[in-house]
Amino acid sequence: MRLCMKMLAMLCGMGLVWPARVGQMAAAEIPAHPKLLQVEPLRYDPPKAAQYRHVLSNGAVAYLVEDHMLPLVNLSVLIRTGRYLDPPRKTGLAAMVGAEIRSGGTKNRSAQDFDEEADFLAASINSTVADTEGRATLNCLSRNFDAALELFFDMLRNPRFDQQRLALSKIRTLQTLARRNDRSNEVESREFARLLRGPSHFSTAQETKATIEAITREDLLTFHQKYYHPSNFIFAVSGDFNTKDLLAKLEDLMRGWEGPKIEAPPVPKPDYAPHPGLYLIDKPEVNQCRVSVGEIGTMRDNPDHYALEIMNQILGGGAFTSRIGSRVRVEEGLAYSAGTMMTFGVYYEGLFRGFFQSKSASCAEAATIVLEEIQRIRAEQVSPDELATAVNYAVEVFPRYFATPAAVASTFANDEYTHRPANYWETYRERLRRVTAEDVLRVARTYLHPDRLVILAVGNVSDIFKGDPDHPQYSLQKLAGGKPIVRLPLPDPVTMVYAGDPLEKAK
């Protein structure tokens, strides 16, 4: 206490604390425990999309958020396209278009000249195409923004798709394909998606030597001409610029850029019913097993998704505070990471997935705990403390969606792209606060189905079967519940042909 008073006296002498306040601070009661501190609740109102939204004359939408703190500009454009538009027998075309738009030069600049000019401007320019969207980004100093923006639009509008760069890209892709069975995490992700979505959906389609070699420069040009035009663009721009000036620049750079009157077709839904059970993939060279447990989930616009967010946070989404994280990682020490995630689909149902990585010997034990916790959250109401912790976390991290000007622009651009309701963020926290323990129990019973779960283990199967001699009560046989344990083959990494594939037989 004496030290505190000396510090207050020093601050008074520096003029940082008024003497009148010293008496108030000294007289204030100090709580016996930090939990007894009373803090006024913070009020945070999210920004409104309408104040940043602009529609250009060509139909493109732009979210522009000025920020003059630093002399930087971040620009991103979402393009209505995606890997789902790959033609038959040319899987990988869309992804190659996304990459080669950036690396293949333009009609006005060779690939090397484009790279050198971007480097001279210290401009980071990138382009990709994912499953259901294309994206191109620009980051640069504001003093170089005009020149970098012209370079960026030259890339988007006039890609050269240099033949030599394309050939080099194919070589690199084939080298990557040859190694795709090497890492167990990549095998787990790929094969778990295949077990849930089936082998024929675009989201599980894999490039092969044949599909990559079938792609031509003309294919890239045709794909670009079909989907890359302003009416398919949504811009997100933040940084040191003037909104009125930037709108004029965007109009000027896209003037006369007409695209075909073709809208991107709807994203196809999977036509596959997963087959519950225990599946094993042998990776004899590893001493850790990776396990995924899951089933098909639900859509983003499902009103239950608020309660499902809270349920997942309590079950496994909350790291150290979650039930699975606490038991598997903290109490039993069986894994470095263990938890659950629940994705909510925009175009088709998302997934529920439990996961962990453990020693081969403890694989069955950790998986059993995960299944026990899934059963428990379906059997009894969560405690008031668990509910409060999960709801408070979800509410208190809400501002992260708008933490920076770049986040504001990106959030609203993504919402526009996926047609999220305009009032979603205004009501988001209140809907979370309304979730009750009864709601959590109801959605757990409705959306978690232990009898429908697909369990995939990737690792040294011989060691996994041996289990832990100190805990013989846990085994793969008991985990399978009397059902056959299915051994999945690894495909040829270049052709993706599975020898005796059970999924193909089940179609």
Domains of the chain: 1-25 (no CATH), 56-253 (3.30.830.10), 277-506 (3.30.830.10)
Question: What does residue 346 show for φ and ψ, rounded to 5 degrees?
Answer: -95, -40
Average pLDDT for residues 358-367, to the nearest whole number? 96
Measured CA to CA, the distance from residue 235 to residue 53 in angstroms comes to 10
How are the residues of the chain apportioned to helix, strand and coil, as percentages rounded to the nearest 5?
50, 15, 35
* Contact (Cβ atoms closer than 8 angstroms) between residue 228 and residue 79: yes
pLDDT for position 277: 97
pLDDT at site 507: 56
Q: Residue 28: what pLDDT?
A: 56
Alpha helix (H) ranges present in 85-183?
93-103, 111-120, 145-157, 163-178
Euclidean distance between the first and the last CA atom of the chain, given in angstroms as a whole number: 75
Tell me the one-letter amino acid at 32: A
Structure tokens at 251: 């109009």
Structure confidence at residue 228 as a pLDDT band (50, 70, 90): very high
Kindly indicate the confidence band of residue 395, based on its pLDDT and cuts at 50, 70 and 90.
very high
Across 373-399, average pLDDT: 97
Q: In angstroms, rounded to a whole number, what is the distance separating the alpha carbons of residues 328 and 333?
A: 6
In this prediction, residue 16 has a pLDDT band, given cuts at 50, 70 and 90, of very low
SS3 54: strand
What pLDDT is attached to residue 505?
A: 63
Average pLDDT, the chain: 93
Asked if 405 contacts 65 with a C-beta cutoff of 8 angstroms, the reply is: yes
Residues 131-136 have a mean pLDDT of 98
pLDDT at 202 (0 to 100): 97
Given this model, what pLDDT does residue 504 score? 67
Dig out the tokens for 38 from the structure: 């009373």
Angstrom CA distances, 61 to 50, 230, 235, 382, 415, stand at: 12, 9, 6, 44, 12
Tell me the Cα Rg of the chain. 27
Burial (CB count <10 Å: 0-12, 13-18, 19+), residue 2? exposed
Mean pLDDT of the region 209-219:
98
pTM metric for this prediction: 0.89
pLDDT bin (cut points 50, 70, 90) of residue 491 is very high
Q: What is the pLDDT of residue 506?
A: 59
